[in-house]
């Protein structure tokens, strides 16, 4: 029956040990005498012992009550030693923040966040890993990843996401002559070979394929790059064309090709496990990212 004991029971016992009088014990606990009497009755039922008996000078503990007194005191001592929560102080936080992000969001978002962290929370270490959508929910649930930055369509079920901004695509090439011709018709554009970015899986399908088909056109993709950074390198070394996110531009050696119309952009989001709502560091990081982007 010991498991039925509650903290207020222990405090009542402690007061009776110290004071030995029901009315005085009630006053010290800011309770009514009736409430203390009811708690004592409950304690007697739980422990199967009278615990305190009346004497000419108040209440005296029974032998069993004397036996358990050190244990009651020990439990209360440990309870009182539990520190109260302090106001969140970034400067005092010592932990590792694990961020999962695409190569694009690593450059556009994480770089600025790291600069802010170094200033406001110098004791926080940061691990940045490439995005892995397939295992993201499990790793966030297990606490292996704290925060992710990706596009809306790649946030798995079970995670919370918050929109950050909408990115748009621009068409680029290292061919300065092509870029200098002015606005180019899509029919002429698809005569050029394309580079697409396909992280993780690889492949020649790109996000703009369906859009080209809606225009009654089909493009020829000849290079699949694992990241936008590598796609930029391949573009600089060839005369091919590609659609790159606008926030990665300008880029040395690449020129924008004006078009009459462009494929739709995409929503960039932050993702986290629902439990992170109670994590002040993660919420601070998210708020900082939003504030920085609002100024961009």
CB 192 within 8 A of CB 217: no
For the chain, what percent of residues have pLDDT higher than 90? 72
**pLDDT at 258 (0 to 100):** 96
CB 291 within 8 A of CB 272: no
Which helix (H) or strand (E) segment holds residue 46: the answer is: helix 33-47
- More confident position, 59 or 167: 167
pLDDT digits (tens, 9 = 90+) for 12-30: 999 898 888 888 888 888 8
CB neighbour list of residue 34: distance below 8 Å, 6 or more residues apart: none
Q: Binning pLDDT at 50, 70 and 90, where does residue 1 land?
A: low
Residue 54, preceding peptide bond in cis (omega within 30° of 0): no
d(CA 124, CA 94): 5
Q: Where are the beta strands (DSSP E) in the chain?
A: 52-55, 58-61, 96-101, 125-130, 147-151, 160-167, 169-173, 193-197, 220-225, 241-245, 255-256, 266-272
d(CA 170, CA 246): 6
**Can you tell me whether residue 59 is helix, strand or coil?**
strand
**pLDDT at 170 (0 to 100):** 97
Burial 174-184 (b: 16+ CB within 10 A, else e): bbeebbeeeeb
Backbone region of residue 15 per phi and psi (left: phi > 0; alpha: psi in -120 to 50; beta: other values): alpha
Picking from 149, 134, 154, the residue whose alpha carbon sits closest to that of residue 100 is 149
**pLDDT at 117 (0 to 100):** 96
> What number is the average pLDDT over the span 87-92?
84
**pLDDT at 86 (0 to 100):** 66
For the chain, what percent of residues have pLDDT higher than 70? 98
- More confident position, 223 or 153: 223
Q: Binning pLDDT at 50, 70 and 90, where does residue 265 land?
A: very high
d(CA 156, CA 154): 6
For the cut 70, the answer to whether the pLDDT of residue 295 exceeds it is yes
pLDDT digits (tens, 9 = 90+) for 116-160: 999 999 999 999 999 988 899 999 999 999 999 999 988 998 899
């Amino acid at each position: 029956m010991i498991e039925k004991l509650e903290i207020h029971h222990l405090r009542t016992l402690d007061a009776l040990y110290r004071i030995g009088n029901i009315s005085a014990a009630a006053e010290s606990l800011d309770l009514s005498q009736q409430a203390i009497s009811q708690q004592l009755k409950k304690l007697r039922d739980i422990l199967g012992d009278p615990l305190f008996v009346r004497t000419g000078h108040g209440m005296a503990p029974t032998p069993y009550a004397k036996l358990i007194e050190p244990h009651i005191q020990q439990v209360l001592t440990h309870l009182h030693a539990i520190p109260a929560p302090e106001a969140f102080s970034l400067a005092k936080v010592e932990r590792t923040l694990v961020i999962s992000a695409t190569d694009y969001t690593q450059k556009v978002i994480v770089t600025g966040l790291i600069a802010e962290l170094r200033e406001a929370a110098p004791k926080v270490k940061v691990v940045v890993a490439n995005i892995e959508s397939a295992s993201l929910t499990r790793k966030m649930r297990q606490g292996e990843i704290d925060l992710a930055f990706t596009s809306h369509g790649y946030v798995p079920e079970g995670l919370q996401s918050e929109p950050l901004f909408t990115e748009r695509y621009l068409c680029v090439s290292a061919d300065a002559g092509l870029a200098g011709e002015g606005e180019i018709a899509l029919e002429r554009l698809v005569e050029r070979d394309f580079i697409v970015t396909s992280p993780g899986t690889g492949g020649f399908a790109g996000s703009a394929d369906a859009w080209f088909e809606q225009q009654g056109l089909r493009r020829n993709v000849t290079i699949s790059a694992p990241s936008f950074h590598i796609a930029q390198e391949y573009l600089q070394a060839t005369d091919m064309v590609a659609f790159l996110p606008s926030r990665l531009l300008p880029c040395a050696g690449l020129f924008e090709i004006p078009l009459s119309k462009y494929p739709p952009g995409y929503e960039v989001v932050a993702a986290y496990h629902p439990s992170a709502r109670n994590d002040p560091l993660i919420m601070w990081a998210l708020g900082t990212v939003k504030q920085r982007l609002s100024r961009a």
